[in-house]
A and B are shown apart, each in its own frame.
Chain A
């Protein structure tokens, strides 16, 4: 395909869509599909067919529309109407009343002027809710693959890296390493063969950002990877996606097939010398395989265990070759940056944390769902304006970011801007985007225990501190939460947490104690209230040398 042909496809598709009187989109991502969305789709199609409207109304399954807690969601694209809690009967009503009679179905209307929508800025999720996740032409009509065309035909690889550097984009997997810097290192690393890897092994409890992007807009990720391949000089990419995401895998497979057929992946892309292929590797359910060195070993067909870094994958990665590893959301940001320029992106967010961040809102919050907000937005705005606050009758206690690797942010820090540096000051991390809200009914010792149980389960067992330390930390949390803990146990708990954090081999172990340390920091009283001193209890260290033989 040439650039001209790409534009032609876009034109043709836009014209085709223009022939319809209406465009109805329904969320076809896992969230809505799991609460009756598939039946809604069928009902919509049936209702259209029964009225012979198939040529007047187009029906498209799109990515996540955000308000997952109120799904299934259906949108009438033309006038922006959004319907919530749609079931088969409501679907029928939407067609009959809204499409045929022109009056909205009031009881299922979503107020789109609500701060939930107004406070969001969509870059990564820009196509979610409008374009069909399974049609490449729809993606192209929305400007898709233009960035790849621009990169390959107008920019030098170094120029692409420079644009990414200028954008200030940082790794969205959680650690926030500057993406442009990483691309530059891989580009300059010596080696004939290089690889691009997309980390789609999203595994934090309560996190579904990457899943939604893959399910809703898979081409965006492929395009970002291809641009990465061009920039660093790689001809092969791998997407490492967990097996628990069957819909994402299916959509990715389809997207790769379509992109290959269109010549947007494969040899001589846009008639250039650039070749790029993408293969999918499916994870077998180990959280640790989200750690880049373990992920690489897993792709190589070995046991997914991390190894010490350095060397970093950018120097020695897949099969020893320089490898660019970025997470799904990072790659999803690439195309718009190339399309609109690094400066445009850098103007969004804060100077050090540019752009937007996708969060999965979960826990004790009214609007659970997927949101995208500019970096630096105060946490209060996310929780109360967008999230609608905690359920009736409860008060906000804390928000956990970064899942089992992160920490909690207490109510007194609600005005904290959500960016990499600010979150670190309160002992949490940006993480990949899971945001779990706890209210006054949540017990913080239990929260810490829950995350530690997760880490015990997911530790690969390679290094001693993580393999054994997490078990002991969990045991102490259990003891304390059951009211059997002593002051000695609490001291030991803190000592173990510090040790596991300092000595573990990979990020999993190094960050595993964070939920404990952070709940101890802000909610220490919840621990000490549970401590007990049995009758005759002698805390250690009280034996006094002078007291002997006196």
Chain B
């Protein structure tokens, strides 16, 4: 995906630069941007290390498990019929709390565990189950309690209060997650109705 997009951006830039007569600027951008990228990484290094450290404390002190427990009523609502003591349910709550804490590296393996657990109870192994749809949509609209990397980039550009966007980030991510889950639920309902009709036809 990124392969095509990156190539397209580069080629369009050169062609468009020639067409608009701004090829000099394009050339400068090509020569100078590498330095910008490394400078950005160096300025982010400190804050990424710091927050990885703080989040490790949260992880080890069992805070992720507490968030998992708080998520339980939500789990029953979002995954009807999934047993709370199942392996999949455990992995889903852990994945949710890792996402909330912004532990991207921890969230992905847990999410894969959850998918494997859901696949075991999936009646049709070649197609995603309704639970999987809900779970993946939740992950694509991930809610993070502290957007630390974004705050670091904002601080780098001299924001007066880099974290002041937090309430807006939370509001926006909750609303867009709700939209995603609503579409997922609508699709799940219509799919299961279609499957039921198909089964009724097969067994007259």
Q: Is this pair of chains taken from one and the same complex?
A: no
> B-side interface residues toward A, CB under 8 Å?
none
> A-side interface residues toward B, CB under 8 Å?
none
